[in-house]
Structure 1
Amino acid sequence: MRPMAVTLGFNHVATITADLDRLTRFYVEAFGGTVTFEMAATEDHPRMAIIDLGGGAALNVFEVAEESILGQRRTMGGRGPIDHFGLAVDSRATLDGLRERMVAAGAEIGEIQRLGGEWSLFFRDPDGMELEVCAHAAPTDADS
């Protein structure tokens, strides 16, 4: 018998940006996120916001100077040891609607594709970071 996981899933993903207002606005407009906490910069901590994305998941976003952000967000391997994160939605229909909201909010967007048992949509946020939104696919779902 396999031991049961002690975690409930991800609580948050922490990310950095050079423009906290722009990135926050994108996640609020495209995903219906809610800013639940904001903190002004202090001598030993950058400005930050926590964006509730629903389902117990949040983004903790820290604002730092552009020149202090290492790596190349548009290149796999250049993004560091964590390449991207995937957000979950409840259905293909929600994913279709979300695609339009992300386009309206200024995201660079890919096509919805079937990857195994998931519908997948890759996009780039305003910082150029590649991310993904997924929905479980029913065995009877046909590729659209």
Structure 2
Amino acid sequence: MTLATSGLHHVTAIAGNPQANADFYLRSLGLRLVKTTVNFDAPDVYHLYYGDEQGQPGTLLTFFPFGKVAPGIHGNGQATRTAFSVPAASIGWWRDHLRALGTEVSEIAERDGEAALTFHDPDGLELALVAHPQGDPRAPWDNGIIPAGHGVRGLHSVTLSTGDEGGTIAMLAELGLRAESQDGNRLRFAAGEGGPGALVDVLVDPRAPQGLVAGGTVHHVAWRAPDEQTQLRWRQELVERGAQVTEVRDRQYFRSIYFREPGGTLLEIATDEPGFAIDEPLLELGRALKLPPWLEPTREQIQAKLASLSLPDENNPGFAERETA
């Protein structure tokens, strides 16, 4: 490929109850709800975006919370772990904080010079908090819920599970990622300048079960493209190399193309532009249900099908409640 991504754009997963999802990511992890919208392909389901203050690419974990949903199967053909970046001195604080909230958390593990905690969200999605030895210059979302000095800085990495080592590695190379290290059957690749937000681990196990995307699993992993022109060039190159790539899809806050890597994981290339402040002020991100123009005529019907959400007021550390939808 003549193009190369600079890192992760976002990770999208499947959840069950939207209130439980929001409670965990806003209160337990202290992320910001940067957009409350719907799944454009199934508008009776929320699409909730969590990230930093502005919802910058590389900080975003998003969810389709379907309400009642069968649990998925973690296995090959999926991203099986999503990791966030936190300060090195905060790992112990996070362990104690999550345990105090009743979340089962692993002991601190060391690998490749990094310290990590592993745990699961209410739907069983595997998560990690990782402290990179070189630090992370990104600013946390300072909302009074999690002390800013301990706050999540953004995505750190994803782990792709595959039974097709050669195929998955070849696709990562086509996206411009380079091999960094290997620890047994776990291989690390980096995009751009590397470091938190630009890393992917490939876990190779041909004997592992095939994953099933449903509750508590990742739906897709998105990589960054700076603009639409670059995305179109990328799409052309992927098609020329034999990949089955969708047409460009308008996601309102970015443009997307989708394709599967040979190991089965659904990947996306998403543009950095235009961002989440195009339809509401920065200070009000996530506070109201936002719909794209083509869904506005059916707003009343859509809202009738969505459960109301009780969300903490970012301007009040005492968790004053506000309703959305």
TMscore range, shorter length: 0.7 to 0.9
Residue 50 of structure 1 aligns to which amino acid in structure 2?
A: Y
Residue 117 of structure 1 aligns to which amino acid in structure 2?
A: G
Q: Please, what TM-score do these two structures have when normalized by structure 1? A: 0.74
Which deviates further from its counterpart, 109-118 or 56-65? 56-65
Q: Which residue of 2 aligns with 1:102?
A: 98
Residue in structure 1 matching 2:63, options 48, 53, 61: 61
Which deviates further from its counterpart, 97-106 or 22-31? 97-106
Q: Give unpaired runs (5+ residues) of structure 1.
A: 139-144
Question: How far did 1:89 drift?
Answer: 1.2
SS in structure 1 at match of 2:20:
helix
Matched, 1:29 2:27: yes
Report if the CA contact (8 A) 2:39-2:64 is conserved. no
Which deviates further from its counterpart, 103-112 or 17-26? 103-112
Question: How far did 1:15 drift?
Answer: 0.8
Matched, 1:86 2:83: yes
Q: How many residues align?
A: 130
Question: How far did 1:13 drift?
Answer: 0.8
Q: Which residue of 1 aligns with 2:9?
A: 11
Question: How far did 1:16 drift?
Answer: 1.1
Structure possessing the higher relative contact order (Cα contacts under 8 Å, 6 or more residues apart): 2
- What's the % identity of the aligned pairs? 26
Q: Give unpaired runs (5+ residues) of structure 2.
A: 135-325
Per-residue deviation, residues 90-116 of structure 1 (Å, max 9, x unmatched)? 21x212112222223332211001112
Alpha-carbon distance between aligned partners in 2 of 1:121 and 1:5, rounded to the nearest angstrom: 34
Which deviates further from its counterpart, 48-57 or 117-126? 48-57
Q: Please, what TM-score do these two structures have when normalized by structure 2? A: 0.36
Q: Post-superposition, which runs of at least 4 consecutive aligned residues in structure 1 deviate over 6 A?
A: none
Alpha-carbon distance between aligned partners in 2 of 1:96 and 1:88, rounded to the nearest angstrom: 14
Which deviates further from its counterpart, 27-36 or 3-12? 3-12
Alpha-carbon distance between aligned partners in 2 of 1:10 and 1:43, rounded to the nearest angstrom: 23
Residue in structure 1 matching 2:117, options 113, 118, 121: 121
Alpha-carbon distance between aligned partners in 2 of 1:36 and 1:109, rounded to the nearest angstrom: 27
